[in-house]
Structure formats: C-alpha cells, structure tokens
C-alpha cells in the first residue's frame, strides 16, 4: 500500500469551512516597557489549520465536522402546486421538529452523503485501466469504512460496490478469486452506497477511457438530472418515466462510423429507499412512460437512477452471482445444515436486510460458506441477484443520485461538484 499523502480537503469538498488569519490592532495596550504614547505593535491571530483529508481517504468525516452538522446536498425548491412549501411556516416548523428527532434527523443521511462525495472523488482519480476489479472495490470499500467509522448495523457500507462493465448494466462485484482487470475500452459503472443508522445514500457514476462513448454518458447523466428536476411531492411515477426516456433517447452515439441510438433500459428503474433496505418502500421510478399513477410523498427517499444502452435496451439475468440480501419477510424454516445456521447468524448480525456479497462474508471471518449460502437461497431466506446484462457488444451507462423529499424543499443528498 502506498504511504498516505495529505491533500487539502478543498480538493475533495469545496464546502469545507476555512478561517483565514486577520490582523488585530491592540489599541489602548501600551507596548511593554514604553510610555502610553508609543506606537502599538500589531499582532496576528494564528491561522486555524485547514481540515485535511488523506489519500487514500482515511480521516473519519466526524473528525472533519466535529460539531456533528454535515453539509446539505443540493436544495431545490418545489415547483408548480408545491411552491408554497418553501415559505410555509407550518412546513418549516415540521422540518425543524424532524431534524431534532434522532430517528428522523437529516444528519444521518447527510453524513452518508458527505462520505460518498469524498470517497468517489478520490476513487475517480484512483480508477485507471490496468487495475484489478478487486483492487478497485477494496479501495472504495476500505475508504467508506474508514470515513463513516463502520460499526456493524450502526454505520457502514450500504450494499456491494457495483463495478459492472460494458454490456453488464448492474449487479456485478468481484467475487473472491476474481482476477479480471479494467481495460482501456471499458465503460465502467461505479455504484456504491453508504449507510448511517440504516439511512442509505445510493449514488452511481460511469467512467470511460475512450471518447467514443462520451455521448452515451452525457445521455444518461442528462436523463438522471431530468428525473431529479421533475421529481417531487405529488409527482406521478409513470409520468417521470416518460420525461426520463424522452431526454435519454434524444442522444445518439457514433461507433466506427455507425450511428447508434441511445435507449432507456426498459426493465430497470430507480426506486424508493427504506431503512436498512435499498429497495424498501415499494415504489419504482421507471425509465419509460407507464400507467403508474402512484405519487411521490413527503418524507420519502428515492434513488433517481437511469440506465442507457447502445444495445436492445433490455437486460436479462446472466453470469456468476455476487449480490445477496436477506429477505425482509424471510420464512422461519428449519435448517438442516449447521453451516447454514451459523452463516444466517452472521448475516443477521452484520447485515440484516442490507445487501452483501461473498467478499463481505470473508471480511467478517466466514470461510467455506458456499454450501450454507446456497441452502439459505433455496429456503427463500436469502435472495440472490445475478448480473443484469444487455446484448454482448453493446455498452451501458448509469448515473444516480439520492433525493430526500423534505417538507420545504427537495434535497439531492448525494450531489457534489463532480456530477
């Protein structure tokens, strides 16, 4: 491991407070050993040392914000029939009450948002062709654990770090023993989460090292921003899908002289986020128009997540499974395998309903767990999530942010100056 290099945190977070030194004139205090009329010396206050982050990131966020108040994400006023919320004294009062309630406080999710911003800025510099997928995943996850001060279910990683490449749109993370490496021609989706007290911040971005696919990335980023712009209290989910698709499919990509339309991936979607459940709440934000008249509601969290493709625009499950999660309504069934009983105890204590992967089991000291894990899947206690892939040869991209529908405004919790 390379030695830690200290970098000014403003390279990582331009909202970090800074205090400059200032000159103070000590009027009325005569210079020592002189008469009252002598010229006074000017003294300088010592400069307050700027908060710093390391490379790789290892200083906990709580040390950079010792007051326990973390930066807000992008705060956006509501539109149309909800503009009154911004100035409503009743809604302002409700928001103050919520922010003082330990179970509802926005500081939990903002702490996760700040961890995400600092880790991903460092990860963007670290991720380069030639690095192994395990190396990239470890860099991100070790950084998250350090900055959030991982402590079991109290705080930690929100779900396995997605590092899906090319035609694989989602649900790939390297399993133990994976030796694959990032290549120059890859289009890499980087999707990771941070949880504090079960409040999950879910955000993703895409990197490519060949300008051929820059327009694909632009299309997906624009579609995500369109979804964020139109999301809000009372927004209908089916209508949001239409806005997302219209934006996404206004782009084209030229590959080897051939013009390819960018397509919304029709069977993927954004989603509401529950406590300790990345897809909790039961609501989906489609990427195409639907007849779903369900509305977004005050107090909800959503991952506005869009996927674009140069292929068929539809994914199927294919490949080795790496993502798992204990079911919310897991049945109570007798387990005949001792290894399955022991593994279930570890999963419940360390992850509960948070998604996990095989590398996380090994991080918790588990070994020879595959038989027990497969038994838990067969019994319907744990669900597996295979990779989601479009047609081979196509390219897919993803951008995502977490939004919080506060009483007075919509907050894009994970927004930073990088995207």
Residue 43: its pLDDT value, please? 59
pLDDT tens for residues 369-401? 999 999 999 999 999 999 999 999 999 999 999
Q: State yes or no: is 107 an active-site residue.
A: no
CB atoms within 10 A of CB 364: 15
Residues contacting 259, CB < 8 A, separation 6+: 252, 253
Residue 135, helix vs strand vs coil? helix
Task: Out of 279, 323, 375, 401, pick the active-site residue.
Answer: 279
In Å, how far are 105, 275, 348, 408 from 98, measured between CA atoms? 6, 16, 29, 12
- In whole angstroms, give the CA distance from residue 13 to residue 146: 17
Distance CA 281, CA 276 (A): 11
> Does 116 count as an annotated binding residue?
no
Asked if the peptide bond before residue 255 counts as cis, ω within 30 degrees of 0, the response is no
CATH of 74-320+393-412, one of 3.20.20.140, 1.10.15.40, 3.75.10.10, 3.90.230.10: 3.90.230.10
159: number of Cβ within 10 Å = 24
- Tens digit of pLDDT for each residue in 333-361? 999 999 999 999 999 999 999 999 999 99
Block residue for tokens 């038989």: 371
| Given 72, 114, 178, 202, the catalytic residue | 202
Q: Which of 95, 141, 191, 390 is catalytic?
A: 191
Write down the pLDDT at residue 100.
79
Residue at token pair 């491991």:
1
Q: Is 271 a catalytic residue?
A: yes
Clarify whether 328 is annotated catalytic: no
305 is in an annotated binding site: yes
Known catalytic residue at 279 = yes
**Does the annotation flag 401 for ligand binding?**
no
Judge residue 298's burial from the number of C-beta atoms within 10 Å of its C-beta, 0-12 exposed, 13-18 middle, 19 or more buried. Answer: middle
Pick the catalytic residue from 305, 366, 390, 411.
305
Cα–Cα distance, 20 to 17 (Å, whole number): 10
- What CATH fold (topology level) applies to the domain 323-385? Arc Repressor Mutant, subunit A (1.10.10)
Residues 6+ apart with CB under 8 A from 268: 169, 170, 287, 305, 307, 315, 388
155: its two tokens? 């705080």
- Judge if 74-320+393-412 and 323-385 fold alike in CATH terms: no
pLDDT at 38: 54
Record the tokens describing residue 225, joined without a space.
Answer: 């921003």
Q: Over pLDDT 70: what percentage of the chain? A: 87
23 is in an annotated binding site: no
Q: Read out DSSP for 259-298?
A: EEE-EE-TT-EEEE-BTTBTTTTS-EEESS--S---B--T
The string of pLDDT tens digits covering residues 61-84 is 999 999 889 999 999 999 999 999
323 is catalytic: no
- Which one of the listed residues 116, 141, 186, 271 is annotated catalytic? 271
Q: What is the pLDDT of residue 105?
A: 78
| Domain locations in the chain as residue ranges | 74-320+393-412, 323-385
Residue 271 annotated as lining a ligand binding site? yes
Q: Is 52 a catalytic residue?
A: no
Which one, of 299, 338, 325, lies nearest residue 380 by Cα? 325
Task: Please indicate if the annotation marks 320 as binding a ligand.
Answer: no
């Amino acid at each position: 491991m390379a030695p830690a290099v200290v970098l000014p945190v403003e390279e990582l977070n331009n909202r970090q407070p800074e205090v400059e030194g200032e000159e103070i004139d000590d009027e009325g205090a005569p210079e020592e050993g002189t008469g009252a009329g002598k010229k006074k010396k000017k003294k300088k206050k010592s400069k307050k040392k700027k908060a710093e982050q390391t490379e790789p990131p290892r200083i906990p966020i709580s040390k950079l914000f010792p007051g326990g108040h973390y930066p807000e994400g992008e705060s956006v006023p509501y539109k149309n029939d909800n503009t009154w919320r911004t100035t409503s004294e009743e809604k302002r009062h409700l928001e103050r009450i919520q922010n003082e309630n330990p179970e509802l406080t926005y500081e939990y999710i903002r702490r996760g948002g700040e961890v995400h911003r600092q880790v991903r800025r460092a990860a963007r510099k670290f991720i380069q062709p030639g690095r192994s997928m395990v190396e990239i995943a470890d860099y991100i996850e070790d950084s998250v654990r350090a900055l959030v001060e991982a402590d079991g279910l109290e705080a930690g990683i929100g779900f396995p770090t997605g590092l899906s490449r090319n035609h694989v749109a989602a649900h790939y993370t390297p399993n133990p023993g994976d030796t694959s490496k990032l290549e120059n021609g890859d289009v890499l989706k980087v999707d990771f989460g941070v949880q504090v007290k079960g409040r999950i911040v879910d955000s993703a971005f895409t990197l490519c090292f060949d300008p051929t696919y820059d327009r694909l990335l632009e299309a997906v980023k624009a579609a995500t921003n369109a979804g964020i712009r139109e999301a809000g209290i009372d927004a209908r989910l089916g209508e949001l899908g239409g806005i997302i698709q219209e934006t996404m499919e206004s782009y084209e990509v030229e590959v080897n002289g051939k013009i390819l339309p960018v397509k919304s991936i029709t069977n993927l979607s954004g989603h509401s986020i529950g406590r300790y459940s990345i897809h909790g709440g039961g609501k989906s934000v489609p990427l195409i128009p639907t007849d779903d008249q369900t509305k977004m509601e005050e107090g909800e969290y959503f991952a506005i997540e869009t996927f674009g493709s140069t292929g068929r625009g539809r994914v199927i499950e294919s490949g080795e499974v790496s993502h798992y999660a204990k079911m919310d309504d897991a049945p109570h069934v007798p387990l005949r395998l001792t290894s399955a009983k022991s593994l279930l105890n570890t999963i419940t204590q360390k992850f509960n309903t948070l998604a996990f992967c095989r590398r996380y089991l090994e991080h918790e000291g588990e070994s020879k767990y595959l038989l027990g894990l497969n038994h838990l899947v067969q019994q319907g206690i744990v669900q597996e999530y295979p990779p989601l892939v479009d047609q081979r040869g196509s390219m897919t991209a993803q951008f995502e942010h977490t939004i919080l529908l506060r009483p007075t405004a919509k907050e894009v919790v994970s927004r930073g100056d990088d995207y």
